[in-house]
Amino acid sequence: MSDVKEMTLADVDQMMALVHYAFQWELSEKNRQRFQMLAENSWNFGSFDDKGQLASQVMATPFSVDLFGDTHLMVGVGFVASYPEYRSQGRIDQIMTQLLATARERGANLSYLAPFSYPFYRRYGYELIFERAVYDVPANQWPDSAKVPGTLRRLDWQEAKPIISELFPKAQRHHQGGVQRDSWWLDFKFPLRKDYQYAIYYDANGNPQGYLVYLLQPGLMTIAEWTWLSGEAFRGLNRFVASHSGSVARIFYEMGYDGKNLQFLTQVPLQDFRVRPEMMARVVDVASFLKDTKKVADLPASLALEIVEDRYAPWNNGLFELQKGEQGVTIAKVATTQLPKVSLTIQRFSQLFMGYLTPETLAFHDLIEVDKKTLKSLKAILPDQKPILEDYF
């Protein structure tokens, strides 16, 4: 019925045709260029019918991500699509099985995706990890900031790109699960996507300290990305945003949400502020992930982690002992254990070790099995911040 294979650039036209059909994706010259660029930098998996026609596909783009100081290889999953006559035939199941196995073989510890359906992707071991804070504000209600000593300049993309490349990784919020961006990804994300404008804030010594990527449309200013390295840079860029209150009716801004919001800056709390769910993620290889997580060294007492029900990455199922010794913590997969045990699914493991939920929350809702003493030991090796992501796959 199905022939699943990793595709080459010779298959790009078929891939693009499927995306055009499935998502009503406009085949403009700019979109064709974007798709070609994405395909060239991705692992592309397809399911073909008995006549060699592409029936279903998944694109998996490898990135390095910084998760609270640990660098992991991550595959961003996108453009999951099937022609309608090939749906409900298990083709995506087969592709995802091969994709996860290939990702593991190539050293990927993590995978992210933007779901069209959260229940659909939970079957593959993914779970909600990232959220977005959404500000949709009448422009005259956007809070202004006091004048700052620096200056702001609007630049074209070629001038702004190296500054954005320099500043993005310097912001602490981009080290909580964020992508370590390559040059091609910046071009794909910004100028090839929309006709964005770029504003850079410089301090009094002429050093760039923040930037704003935004889009102006009739009556609307949309902030696509906002990065600052200091309170001064934030205020300087915010003053620039507020200055648009005379030319647009609304200001729209989404940012990765880590439990904090900007409501405290407003005179009147914003009625249209909300937090929405966004990206899902999963750990691809539990053993490799744990070995690459520095905080595991903080384990105060030995314990075992039991992963259950990981159907599409069966190498994760079973017991992993984390033994505290004089030389540090060793990690080994075992058949049985006498250590205190934490039993959980791959979804809950990912939410814990990526910082989205606490063990207390999961234990309260009976979503992990753990006693109080072991929970305390487990908590010592988990992040104490929530994850943030500004990229989309």
Cα 82 to Cα 91: distance, rounded to the nearest angstrom: 8
pLDDT of residue 315: 98
Cα 73 to Cα 212: distance, rounded to the nearest angstrom: 28
In a domain, 327, yes or no: yes
pLDDT band of residue 268 (cuts 50, 70, 90) is low
pLDDT digits (tens, 9 = 90+) for 77-117: 999 999 999 999 999 999 999 999 999 999 999 999 999 99
Among 219, 251, 276, which residue terminates a domain?
276
Same domain, 294 and 211: no
Q: Mean pLDDT across the stretch 156-176?
A: 97
Helix then strand then coil, in percent of the chain rounded to 5, is 35, 35, 35
Same domain, 272 and 294: no
Same domain, 144 and 268: yes
Same domain, 272 and 183: yes
pLDDT at 267 over 80: no
Amino acid at position 90, single letter = G
pLDDT digits (tens, 9 = 90+) for 7-37: 999 999 999 999 999 999 888 999 999 999 9
In this predicted structure, which of 1-10, 193-202, 230-239, 369-378 has the lowest mean pLDDT? 1-10
- Rounded to a whole number, what is the distance in angstroms from the first to the last CA of the chain? 29
pLDDT of residue 273: 86
Same domain, 69 and 151: no
Domain that holds residue 45: 3-108
pLDDT band of residue 1 (cuts 50, 70, 90) is very low
pLDDT at 227 over 90: yes
Order of strands across the sheet that contains 250-257: 151-155, 197-202, 208-217, 220-228, 250-257, 131-138, 274-277
* Angle between helices 29-40 and 12-23 in degrees, nearest 10: 120
Number of domains in the chain: 3
Same domain, 307 and 268: no
* Percent of the chain whose predicted confidence (pLDDT) is above 90: 93
Write the DSSP assignment of 159-212 as a string of letters.
Answer: HHHHHHHHHGGGSGGGGEEEEE--HHHHHHHTTTTS--EEEEEE-TTS-EEEEE
pLDDT band of residue 391 (cuts 50, 70, 90) is very high
Residue (of 35, 30, 29) closest to 11 by Cα position: 35
Average pLDDT, the chain: 95
In a domain, 120, yes or no: no
pLDDT of residue 271: 72
pLDDT at 270 over 60: yes
pLDDT digits (tens, 9 = 90+) for 281-319: 999 999 999 999 999 999 999 999 999 999 999 999 999
pLDDT band of residue 331 (cuts 50, 70, 90) is very high
Q: Is the pTM here over 0.85, yes or no?
A: yes
- Give burial (CB, 10 Å; 0-12/13-18/19+) of 31: middle
